[in-house]
Structure 1
Amino acid sequence: MGIFNSMFGGKSDKESKPEKKSHLNWLPLTSLEQLETIKNESNTEAVLIFKHSTRCGISSMVIKQFEKLFTEEHKGLKVYYLDLLNYRNISDEVGYKFQVMHQSPQLIAVRNGVSVYDAAHYDITQTNLSRFI
């Protein structure tokens, strides 16, 4: 009850919830040409692709939980964000190029030009990100 908190010295929402710094830097995946970039980048480091449906409740919950997995240790990971509804053709090409069946939400890890890991739905939230550093 906001009015009672202010009358009796309760903390405001800003004071009680310190802002958490995000260690995830999303890279928007918006063109087919970027898939070749991802393939090339994966020769020197793991590259993650997060496929997200903005109209799906499960996908919305999973993406929030996925973001919470990131700690300072993971801040160097490259994570591409693919909006499935606006870029369906790119999603189709991701499946073809990296040989993964389409799911949503979906996390795909690419190393040396091939998918080495993929998870879907709530399994994404159990991903050990440290294995991709």
Structure 2
Amino acid sequence: MSTPWLPLTQPEQITDLAQASHEQPVLIFKHSTTCSISAAAKSKIERQWADSGLGHVPIYYLDLLRFRPLSAQIADQFGIRHESPQLLLIKDGECCYDASHMGIRLSDVKSAVK
């Protein structure tokens, strides 16, 4: 099973996913398409997704170069510092997991989802 990336391209999606997170946790992956570390983190997520036990969790993909204002909106709305690459877990309308660079681990996300 490949990673079921959902494109994050509109400001209202952030509000919608924050609301949806009260019913089910949501992941946001912020990716810089020109950064090799970001590419490595994205590839790691894609390789591990099928075995992660997170198949039920929607995962949104934010292309930072095309949609930079959305990253600022995410930082403001959830009170987290912008990083790239960055994986955020949104649960009950709040960011409860935030990792960046090589610190991104799906096993840690799975623990935080419970």
TM-score, length-scaled by structure 1 = 0.79
Aligned partner (choices 21, 33, 38) of residue 12 of structure 2: 33
What is the Cα deviation at residue 129 of structure 1?
Answer: 3.5
> 2:34 matched to 1:55?
yes
Aligned partner (choices 64, 69, 74) of residue 84 of structure 1: 64
Structure 1 residue ranges without an equivalent (≥5): 1-20
User: Which whole-Å CA distance do the structure 1 matches of 2:46 and 2:104 have between them?
Assistant: 11
Q: Deviations over 1:18-69 (max 9, x none)?
A: xxx32x2111000000011111110011100000000001100110001122
User: Which whole-Å CA distance do the structure 1 matches of 2:38 and 2:44 have between them?
Assistant: 10
User: Which whole-Å CA distance do the structure 1 matches of 2:56 and 2:43 have between them?
Assistant: 19
User: Which whole-Å CA distance do the structure 1 matches of 2:47 and 2:78 have between them?
Assistant: 26
Structure 2 residue ranges without an equivalent (≥5): none
What is the Cα deviation at residue 130 of structure 1?
Answer: 2.4
* Conservation of the 8 A alpha-carbon contact between 2:86 and 2:98: yes
Aligned-residue identity in percent: 37
Higher relative contact order (CA 8 A, sep 6+): 2
Alpha-carbon RMSD = 1.4
* Conservation of the 8 A alpha-carbon contact between 1:62 and 1:125: no
What is the Cα deviation at residue 127 of structure 1?
Answer: 4.1
TM-score, length-scaled by structure 2 = 0.91
Aligned partner (choices 85, 109, 114) of residue 105 of structure 1: 85
* Conservation of the 8 A alpha-carbon contact between 1:69 and 1:125: no
